[in-house]
Structure 1
Amino acid sequence: MKSLAILQPSIEIYRNDFYHKLSKIYNLELFAKYKNSDLDKNIKFNKTTIIKTNFFEFEIFNYLKLFNSDLIILTGNLKILSNIIIIFINLFYKKKIYYLNQVLSKKHSNIKFIVFKIITKLISGVITYTKTEQRFLKRYYRIKKCFYLSNGLKSVDPKLINIDKSNYPFSIIFIGKISPKVNLDTFLERLIKFNSKCNLNIVTTSKSIKIIERKLNYLKEKNNLITIKLFLDKFDNSFLIDIFNSSHFMIYPGSVGLSLIHAFNFGVPVILPFGKYYHMPEIEAFKNEYNGFYYDDTPDNFIRTLHKCLNIYMLDDYKRLSNNCLDTVKFNYNTENMVNNLMYFLKI
């Protein structure tokens, strides 16, 4: 069994199933500043320290321990100077090193891409999260040693999912941490003009909910047709299943990423602002009117889209959307495919 080391800023709970599956194939060792949950006992964890400056981040740990593994995956952007140092140290060790990062999640300067291209000459290959990113690197930057994972999550047992929600009042859900890029405050302002009964389920952290407390109180004052329910620090699937089973659509008014896949896992269609390049790479999983709806980023069009969703949630059209969501993750965006894609790439 080969050994695999992964260096990353942090270990999030939604990656546990991916690591669990990897640990059955490789002797897995993780290096990170912190972990947000307990890992399997057979997965080794090494704590790192990150020093940040205005321009760079630098991880401090026992570098030589990293090179005990047969395969090494580095994650994070080019600001993490320690990644570049590890790549140059590897000129001596000659281990197989791969670089994993989101390519299309932010704008990159030409200088960064020049540095990126130089680095790709010194490593065994580049791994992207989505096929769109892989095509982008191959087409525009001529990077041949490039593969994708199909970024996904642990699949939910289909037997637990309810797609017939005609007996529930119209409900929409938001899930994720709240930050400026999520644009939730603008969404709450526009919801004031929605003149039909609606439950708004918000699943987020107790820390980030403080950002929109004033907006929530204002919405309650101005529109008594909207019932707001808060679920704080409840991200486990065993808890989320009940919330998603009573929610008809997920709304994500900002730049959506893995939350899109999260909703599809529960068979919940998604409402998004229009713009393919506005979102994170996971947007490739979304097809307008197949597993959700786009809306133009104007108040009137947003309200019209909500009414469109309201009019179909009790019809067979809704079940079609919901089944399409489940098919999207069943055939592509799940941890099983991620592991299989990674195994295939590492053997090339």
Structure 2
Amino acid sequence: MKKILVMYPGFPHYRNGVIEELLEDKENEYFFIGDKNMMGTSIKAYEFKGNKKFFNTPSFRFKSFVFHKKMISYILKNDFDRYILHSSPFWITILISFFILKLKGKKCYNWTHGLLKNEDNFKTKFYLNFYKLFDGILLYGDGAKKNMIAKGFPEKKLKVIYNSLDYKTQVLNRNKLKTEDFLELKKKIFGKNYNRAQLIFIGRLTKQKKLSVLIDLIDILNKKGEKFNLLFVGDGTEKNNLEELTFNKKLSHQIKFYGPSYDEFEIYSLIASSDCCISPGEIGLTAIHALTYGTPVISHSNANFQMPEFESIIDGENGKLFKHNDMDSLVNAVLTWFAQNKNREVIRNNCYKIIDNVFNPVNQKNIINNFLK
């Protein structure tokens, strides 16, 4: 059994599935080091709750640079067989720790996005040279792997480990509610219009997400004689603007703002009661959340403007992909998807399949262990 140290600037709460899977691993013994407060950001941190396999290293920022107290002394005093770093050139203490470890002859792997965009510029070359310092790169998606290979990066040093959420809890939630429960919830939110097909967006309501496009979408569908409901779950800087646009377009009976939710069962009920999750901008882990609960996903197909989790969408099977920034294509994707005569249970199982086989923490752990051999 090898002792492996996982070094992160801070561990976000949505990594809990894979963190707990690694903590319980019987093949290797995993330890963790990072800032328990997520570097002072607004992102909720994973709570190790006194676990002795976690060492807290408080951090501070100077512009884009991040420094960690106690990390270098910990690296000098403790010895592990392998090191997995979530490393950026701007996370200075982690970078110094990496060079110390290399001087000690240790194997170091970077758990990172890699090259999300297929571009030729200074930034791409800079990061490629940075990644070449490591003994291996653990990636979230196949697209980044293809981009790096195309730029001449050695394929043998790349491993796609995908991404996941709180899979164990989410699988237990499946099937807790029945069709009549979903209908009751939809009726509570949309009143007498509850029986229309329901689209959902869940996440931060920010300008980057291009959410006004969804309000325009409902308006266009109405003019085509196609009535849909749209539910926004989340909060953010764009909420007031979106509410005002909804009111101005007289769509308040079809578009509702639920507000934020951090309760996993409540999130399950909202996602699973919806007929489709939709995102005009990057989709990220929202795709994993929706598919885990059996709800198909519609998002755009331009990998250069997506997060790696969009690879979980299999066009025509568990969702649809449309052309980036193309309203006609988005409208067509929605109408095409709902024109299918597939049984809702068949769609639900199609959504489960990619999660149960690929995007889950057990699979991530197994891939990591095999790669570290």
Question: Is the pair's TM-score, using the shorter chain for normalization, greater than 0.5?
Answer: yes
> Contact conserved, 1:273 with 1:295, CA < 8 A, in 2?
yes
Q: For each residue in 1:239-295, what CA deviation from the matched residue of structure 2 results, as whole angstroms up to 9, or x when unmatched?
A: 211111210100111012221111110111111124233312222222211111123
Letter in 2 for 1:200: L
Letter in 2 for 1:13: H
Instruction: Indicate how the Cα distance of structure 1 residues 202 and 107 shifts in structure 2: closer, same or farther if over 3 A, else same.
Output: same
Q: Greater CA deviation, 158-167 or 137-146? A: 158-167
Letter in 2 for 1:338: Q
Q: For each residue in 1:212-235, what CA deviation from the matched residue of structure 2 results, as whole angstroms up to 9, or x when unmatched?
A: 312223213422441404131x23
Within 1, Cα distance between the matches of 2:112 and 2:153? 17
- Structure 1 gaps of 5+ residues are none
Superposition pairs of residues 11-22 of structure 1, within 5 angstroms = 11-22=11-22
Superposition pairs of residues 184-199 of structure 1, within 5 angstroms = 184-195=211-222, 196-199=226-229
Q: Greater CA deviation, 336-345 or 173-182? A: 173-182
Superposition pairs of residues 69-148 of structure 1, within 5 angstroms = 69-70=79-80, 71-106=82-117, 110-143=121-154, 144-148=156-160
Instruction: Provide TM-score, normalisation by structure 2.
Output: 0.80
Q: Greater CA deviation, 83-92 or 161-170? A: 161-170
The partner residue of 1:202 within 227, 232, 239 is 232
Instruction: Tell me what 2:56 maps to.
Output: 46
Within 1, Cα distance between the matches of 2:354 and 2:20? 23
The partner residue of 1:176 within 192, 198, 203 is 203
Instruction: Tell me what 2:189 maps to.
Output: none
Letter in 1 for 2:157: K
Q: For each residue in 1:88-126, what CA deviation from the matched residue of structure 2 results, as whole angstroms up to 9, or x when unmatched?
A: 222332222111111233576644444444444543221
Q: For each residue in 1:292-325, what CA deviation from the matched residue of structure 2 results, as whole angstroms up to 9, or x when unmatched?
A: 112343334433433444445xx43443332211
Superposition pairs of residues 328-339 of structure 1, within 5 angstroms = 328-339=354-365
Instruction: Indicate how the Cα distance of structure 1 residues 298 and 91 shifts in structure 2: closer, same or farther if over 3 A, else same.
Output: closer
Letter in 2 for 1:276: A
The partner residue of 2:299 within 272, 285, 293 is 272
The partner residue of 1:340 within 358, 363, 366 is 366
Report how far residue 31 of structure 1 moved: 0.7
Instruction: Provide TM-score, normalisation by structure 1.
Output: 0.85
> Contact conserved, 1:132 with 1:281, CA < 8 A, in 2?
yes
Pair 1:30-2:33 in alignment: yes
> Contact conserved, 1:201 with 1:231, CA < 8 A, in 2?
no
> Contact conserved, 1:188 with 1:216, CA < 8 A, in 2?
no
> What is the aligned-residue identity percentage?
22
SS in 1 for 2:221: coil
Pair 1:294-2:294 in alignment: no
Letter in 2 for 1:64: S
Letter in 2 for 1:149: I
Superposition pairs of residues 305-344 of structure 1, within 5 angstroms = 305-312=333-340, 315-344=341-370
SS in 1 for 2:238: helix
Instruction: Indicate how the Cα distance of structure 1 residues 302 and 23 shifts in structure 2: closer, same or farther if over 3 A, else same.
Output: same
Within 2, Cα distance between the matches of 1:79 and 1:106? 20
The partner residue of 2:65 within 57, 60, 69 is 57
Letter in 1 for 2:88: N
Within 2, Cα distance between the matches of 1:295 and 1:122? 37
Instruction: Tell me what 2:7 maps to.
Output: 7
SS in 2 for 1:150: coil
RMSD: 2.8
Within 1, Cα distance between the matches of 2:102 and 2:328? 58
Instruction: Indicate how the Cα distance of structure 1 residues 114 and 160 shifts in structure 2: closer, same or farther if over 3 A, else same.
Output: closer
Q: For each residue in 1:48-83, what CA deviation from the matched residue of structure 2 results, as whole angstroms up to 9, or x when unmatched?
A: 313233xx4132322121352413222143333444
Pair 1:151-2:154 in alignment: no
> Contact conserved, 1:202 with 1:230, CA < 8 A, in 2?
yes
Report how far residue 326 of structure 1 moved: 0.7
Superposition pairs of residues 229-308 of structure 1, within 5 angstroms = 229-232=257-260, 234-296=261-323, 297-308=325-336
Report how far residue 33 of structure 1 moved: 6.1
Within 2, Cα distance between the matches of 1:5 and 1:183? 39
Within 1, Cα distance between the matches of 2:216 and 2:15? 34
Instruction: Indicate how the Cα distance of structure 1 residues 142 and 37 shifts in structure 2: closer, same or farther if over 3 A, else same.
Output: closer
Instruction: Indicate how the Cα distance of structure 1 residues 132 and 301 shifts in structure 2: closer, same or farther if over 3 A, else same.
Output: closer
